[in-house]
Chains A and B, each alone.
Chain A
Amino acid sequence: MTTATSRATTTGAVGTAHSRVEGRDKVTGAARYAGEIPFAGLAHGRLVLSTVARGRIVSVESGPVLDMPGVLAVLHHGNAPRLETGYVGMLGVPPDPTAAVFQDDRVPHAGWPVALVVAETSEQAREAAEALTVTYEREPHDIAFSAGRSDARPADGHMPASTEKGDLDAELAASAHVVDEEYVTPEEHHAMMEPHAATALWDGGRLEVVDSNQGTTWVADELVRMFSLDASAVRVRSDHVGGGFGSKGLRAHQVSAVMAATELRRPVRVVLTRRQMFSLTGYRSPTAQRVRLGAGPDGRLRALDHRSLNQTSTVWEFVEPAAGVGRTLYDAPAHRTENQVVRLNVPSPTWMRAPGEAPGSFAMEAALDELAERCGVDPIELRLRNEPELGPVSGLPFAGRNLAACFREGARRFGWASRDPRPGVRREGHLLLGTGTAAASFPAGAMPSTAAVTAEADGTFTVRISAADIGTGARTALALVAADALRVPAGRVRVHIGDSDFGPAMIAGGSMGTRSWAWAVTAAAGELRDRLVPGGTVPPEGITVRSDTTAAVGALAQKERHSYGAQFAEVAVDVATGEVRVRRMLGIFAAGRIVNPLTARSQLIGGMTWGISMALHEEAVRDSASGDLYGGDLASYHVASHADVPAVEADWVDDHDPDDPVGIKGIGEVGIVGAAAAVANAVWHATGVRHRRLPIRPDRVLEAGGPRV
């Protein structure tokens, strides 16, 4: 059963399942991604990365390579143009120097870009890049990430480093039950299927970049600033994007392609190899978290203390704000949270699907499960007893907080009521079975965007917005939103996205894309509809209305706005082999108005699938001797395969944000939040063993021991 999601509209496009408008192109292979657009005279660039983790480049021996067949250029710090990097970009952060390539001789981590070799064919470029000799003056490196490093420092990132209220020690001392545990999550990689790819060319005095990214105006803006160009001189297009998850912003491939295209005055394409992606495109930092919870006999929280440490590079600071989850989810008279970072000789981490919430919810929701066990209170009941009235840190009211409804609906459908809370008692042959649950929440925000909607002379409508469809179904969702705003059938609306010439818009990120874009599209379409005179004629050039939501978004009342969810998982554990398999999973979400149930369900299930992958499989391992990744490929870095993912179900309860013109909250990230904790809690329920370090791999299950079957 899907609860009602559609609201009264004229055509009712929003809320009705609609297959993807570009779906046919994607199933026939007609959809072209960034590295697939042909250009006459195209040259191929291949990056060369450092083999040392810290030091200086002594020499780049270009000569022999330039003599190789087909080689056109070797760019490196000795000959590359100087870039401007002292700016703060559209997302409020300075550029990651990893993208601002070839500016000096320093090497801050293994896999740092040191040169680009350009050749006529991709085979020639690959061979020449492999043949390029770069010598280094090696310096000792430090990649040892662990809790308790003396050089860890509180850091803000996108939220204040610390929050604190109440007397933590006193409340902990007065608590009937206390949980005090450390949780560790590993380095994780986006591993989207399409590698980063860009083709740069100069065309009539304009720089064109055909790229795969999460925001064309974002990347264009970065290139404008970095290369000190006029804003009007840069156009970035990104039609189909093979996954992003936070990683597809400005990276070394676009910048080096622009450098080479400028130098050679011909189109240059740079595609990252899978291996290069592991050091050049960001990742989720490992976290070491400590959670302390104190509660009365009834499970009501008296103390909440969550501290998280993550690593960042020596050239760019990124905070994985895992300790942020408790700031809006749970309240306690004594409440303290803090995010810290330590700078190491590692690549720069970045946003990755539910940054902060994904690892933070693992720790917090696992700790709550431990607290429920100690209090003898059902884990769902424990959470319901700790529902706050106001934002625990902000004191602001919630703009709809339907977490309880998610738990009630989920418990009913999952069959939670009949669950025996005792761990390690359900056997099926050689397997131990268990179930677990966890809460999910993710901020629902909106950012200013612009859009243009045109009434065409033939009675159709064209939407232009520099949105990105990284697999979310944005094109389809915006067609439905526009159709409703125009009060026409969706079939009469076409949507053009992924072109920076369409003007500034939010990126596909932070679960804010669809909401931000839909706002702008609704505004333009609504005004256009008002302008169209019934029975009047539309001129051949059409009638176009532009919108800019800067003022409207800025006027939005300050509230706690979040999507919520309740995650449920059942696992089977083979204690003889250590294998953990998820048998079924259910997520019930309260995520505002659902624009397209077909694609929304896919996105939520996708997030939950990430949760399975995070819980059981994903871990990037760094080699201490070299400072480099061990096994930077998809055979060593395991993401969940078909066989790991059972019948995962996602559904939602009615949820409405009255302040939003389309009522959207955002669904891109909430699906992963809490999912790994639900699996880990189920593993405890199956085996009686708490796994506080992810992933829960066979080696760890075997080493932890547990009941024999």
Chain B
Amino acid sequence: MREFDYRRADDVTGAVALLGADPDARYLGGGTNLVDLMKTGVERPARLVDVRSLPLDRIEPAADGGLRIGATVTNSDLAAHPVVRERYPALTQAVLAGASGQLRNMATVGGNLLQRTRCGYFADVTKPCNKRAPGSGCPAVGGEHRNHAVLGASEHCVAVHPSDMGVALTAFDATVAYETTDGPGELPLADFYLPVGDTPHRETALPPGALITYVTLPPARLAARSRYRKVRERASYAFAIGSVAAALEVSDGVVCDARLAFGAVASRPWRARLAERVLTGAPATAEYFAAAADAELAAARPLPGNGYKVTLLRNLVVAVLSELAEEATR
């Protein structure tokens, strides 16, 4: 870890100004990912701008039923907030499924969206990685890729986004607000992450130097009955190998509305819009849930060592939607 300058920002304008256009500067939120990456040499910033003290630590329920979440709200506070638990239980479940109690106390909402992949090649500076060192190659394609992408990847990078929170936020059409020296901006989470293509090192559509300020959730009545289910290689304190965030509205045995997103299958939280389309208007039965999953997973291009993920996601979709449908008829 090289020496670095450290500044604490008191307000958003000041934070953005402190970072400026310096490509060697980074915002420091909870530090749970950045400090680790600095220790492993993946990140070597010359300056850290500490944004933990910014007045962005509030969760504001909107009158229309939506929610505005400050970027420095910790994972713990987000998960425990009564309105989140009431309106978006899958979001609480997703956050609680991630990391550990200690890390959730430190990690922030903004940082969660910007966390880097846990691909073992990315994290190891002695190995090639197109995401970390563009042009050096992707050893995962021909090497270890048990927990790599089956959707939306390219030959240049098959890493997955590790967020659980982001999967629920994606399912619920979140929007990301940010601030730059040129003023504020907004991005739907659906457009927030860039396609992998041949530029896996370019991960988000945020302008240079942008600071995430808020994540906004629009009202979604069906989100009040939503679920997040995560599968991992031990029962807790592990990244997902597959996860599903889902919400379902059923009337007279027919799906009237659905939200579905997948985790740990792509370079970003994966909104399953094809599946949602199949579900809407279909009978709320396991058969149609499976058909919806198949519609989404038809685009899957598994590698030799991660084909199980397609089966896993299909089974997860059926299981989670069946549970939601059963609840709806109770």
Contacts and interface: CB of A to CB of B under 8 A. Distances in A.
Contacts of B120: 623, 630-631, 636
A616 interface: yes
Contacts of A641: 234-238
A702 B307 CA distance: 10
A625 B235 contact: no
- Interface SS of chain A: loop
A51 B126 contact: yes
Interface string A106-145: 0000000000000000010011001000000000000000
A374 B1 CA distance: 59
Interface stretch (B49-57, B69-77, B140-148): B140-148
B204 interface: no
A621 B139 CA distance: 14
Interface in B218-240: 231, 233-239
A577 B315 contact: yes
B312 A638 contact: no
B123 interface: yes
Given A625-B139, A630-B144, A638 B3 contact: no
Nearest to A581: B235
A576 B127 contact: no
B311 A702 contact: yes
Contacts of A578: 231, 308, 312
A698 B308 contact: yes
A698 B230 CA distance: 12
A182 interface: no
A644 B242 CA distance: 18
A643 B1 contact: no
B235 A635 contact: no
B2 A127 contact: yes
A643 B139 contact: no
Given A626-B139, A702-B312, A644 B319 contact: no
B318 A644 contact: no
Interface string B237-250: 11101100000000
A183 to B, nearest CB: 21
Given A130-B41, A635-B118, A702-B312, A625 B319 contact: no
Nearest to B44: A130
Contact of B235 (A626, A631, A643): A643
Interface string B185-205: 000000000000000000000
B233 A635 contact: no
B178 interface: no
B262 interface: no
Interface string B25-44: 00000000000000111000
Contact of B139 (A576, A616, A623, A699): A623
B105 to A, nearest CB: 17
Contact of A621 (B127, B144, B315): B144
Given A577-B231, A635-B239, A698-B231, A628 B126 contact: yes
B121 interface: yes
B316 interface: yes
Between A126, A127, A697, A698, the greatest number of chain B beta carbons within 10 A of the residue's beta carbon is seen for A698
A625 B142 contact: yes
A617 B306 CA distance: 17
Nearest to A640: B234
Contacts of B316: 576-577
B3 A127 contact: yes
A621 B123 CA distance: 15
14 contacts: A130-B1, A275-B40, A576-B319, A625-B139, A625-B142, A630-B143, A633-B123, A638-B233, A641-B236, A643-B237, A697-B233, A698-B241, A699-B308, A703-B311
Interface of B: 1-3, 39-41, 118, 120-121, 123-124, 126-127, 139, 142-144, 146, 231, 233-239, 241-242, 306-308, 311-312, 315-316, 318-319
Given A625-B139, A628-B126, A636-B118, 8 more contacts: A127-B3, A623-B144, A635-B239, A641-B238, A644-B234, A698-B312, A703-B307, A703-B308
The 3 closest A-B pairs by CB, nearest first: A631-B120, A643-B235, A643-B236
